[in-house]
A and B are shown apart, each in its own frame.
Chain A
Amino acid sequence: MIGLQHYLLVSAALFSLGILGVLTRRNAVNVLMGVELILNSANINLVAFSRYGTGNLQGQLFAVFVIVIAAAEVAVALAIVLTLYRLRHTPNLDEADILRG
């Protein structure tokens, strides 16, 4: 019997994999992929609680807003990555140390 906890475990796995991607990957686009995994895990949580909890659609509505904001964030983040690439000629985030003291 698939219950709420199964979905929470799936989203916990997705979240920790996303955190691992954000922490350990060197390429900026790979870090963005990790962020997308984190957002998707939060969305699964929202929809699972909407389904098994109250039963109204607010969880799904929130998830639609999360998708919208994720799209806007990827656009702006890629603009920043492209500008950084033009400046440093490398997509690695280790080289982005201009502000380092």
Chain B
Amino acid sequence: MSAHAVIFYVFAAITVGSAAIVVFARSLIYSAFALLFTFFGVAGLYVLLGADFLAATQLLIYVGGILVLLLFGVMLTHKLYDLDLKSGVTQFFPGLIVAAGLFAILAVTARRATWAVGQGRPPAPTTADIGALFMGRYLLPFEAASILLLVALMGAAMIVRRRKDA
């Protein structure tokens, strides 16, 4: 097996194993830290696919932003004296059947379909090209994403503020 294959299997194992811990762990903090490892594994897969800018963005935004936000959410939704952050499951076996069936369908489709594999893109630095695309052809979605972030920021702040009850 080549080094490329070994590294791929290592990162794939990290990603899927941590995702399993996220879903099956009883403690919320274990789930949050396993999610951290999942994000790291996905960033490693991005690097293997030649998406270096995307891997850095993934680490910055997912690990540095979203995961911290989720941990704050875990902290703020429990009473201060309730020290065990446990999370139960509800209707586990129907959900397991649905998820297993979905995985079977997706896996069979991925194996059997004849994908239109083109000439591909050998790994190369992508940051300058992505920047040029953002400022050139895809300027409108870029600005729309900025407005969406502004609206989300305002909306989240508005939802959570404490209203002075008259």
Binding site for B on A (CB under 8 A): 1-10, 12-21, 23-30, 32-34, 36-37, 40, 43-44, 47-48, 50-57, 60-61, 63-65, 67-76, 78-83, 85, 89, 91-92, 94
Contacts and interface: CB of A to CB of B under 8 A. Distances in A.
Given A47-B51, A67-B57, A75 B152 contact: yes
Contact of A43 (B38, B42, B141): B42
A88 to B, nearest CB: 10
Contacts of A44: 42, 45-46
Given A25-B87, A25-B89, A26-B89, A76 B99 contact: no
A16 B103 contact: yes
Q: Is the interface of A mostly helix, strand, loop or mixed?
A: helix
A21 B22 contact: yes
Given A60-B54, A61-B130, A27 B15 contact: no
Q: Is the interface of B mostly helix, strand, loop or mixed?
A: helix
Nearest to A3: B117
Q: Which 5 A-B pairs have the closest CB atoms?
A: A72-B152, A12-B106, A16-B103, A23-B95, A8-B110
B5 interface: yes
Contact of B39 (A40, A61, A74): A40
Contacts, number: 238
Contact of A61 (B20, B94, B115, B138): B138
A26 B90 contact: yes
Contacts of A15: 102-103, 106
Q: Interface residue tally of chain B, by bracket?
A: 35 or more
Contacts of B129: 57
Contacts of A4: 115, 117
B70 A74 contact: yes
B54 A64 contact: yes
Nearest to B86: A27
Nearest to A6: B8
Contacts of B152: 72-73, 75-76
Nearest to A51: B49
Given A17-B99, A24-B23, A64-B57, 11 more contacts: A1-B5, A10-B16, A25-B87, A27-B87, A29-B87, A32-B70, A50-B51, A52-B117, A53-B118, A57-B130, A60-B54
